[in-house]
Amino acid sequence: MFGFFRCRSGASAVEFALLLPLFLAFIFGIVVFGSYLAMVHGVQQLAAEAARSSIAGMTDSERNSLATNYVAANASTYPLLVPGNLSVSAASSPSNANVYVVTVNYNAAGNFIYKLPFVPAPSATIVRSAAIQYGGF
């Protein structure tokens, strides 16, 4: 009978069975949160690069066209973004006439992380902006 209490041959299996769900939950959380951050980063990068490309325009309508065309042409290079869910707005800043602001909106509601059960979902609309100053300093 005392030999049963000293036997440790199954301790590793029990510890593994107890810790595996916790470990998998951590890994799953890292993947889900990382996917969301990758989408946010992609939208921010598109906004920043669209703002940089828009500075070549001479008028606000030309700048808006350049920014919109940049996002449309390069959105497919971001693997977690669906180009059809992106929208772009570009205009002069209301607070400073020498600054041009490009805002990119992304509707992420169709992404896989919003379909997972028991996962607190962040906002499905990702909005990021980038501002660039007009030349002629």
Side chain identity at 99, as an amino acid letter? V
Residue 113 has a CB neighbour count (10 Å cut-off) of 18
pLDDT in tens, the chain (137 residues): 555 566 667 778 888 899 999 999 899 889 888 999 999 999 999 999 999 999 888 888 999 999 999 999 999 999 999 999 999 999 998 898 889 999 999 999 988 888 888 778 889 999 999 999 887 55
Picking from 101, 102, 105, the residue whose alpha carbon sits closest to that of residue 125 is 105
This prediction has a pTM of: 0.82
Compute the half-sphere exposure of residue 58: CA atoms within 13 Å on the CB side of its CA. Answer: 0
pLDDT of residue 41: 96
Put the strands of the sheet holding 86-92 in their side by side order: 86-92, 99-107, 125-133
- Residue 100's Cβ-count burial label (10 Å; 0-12, 13-18, 19+) is buried
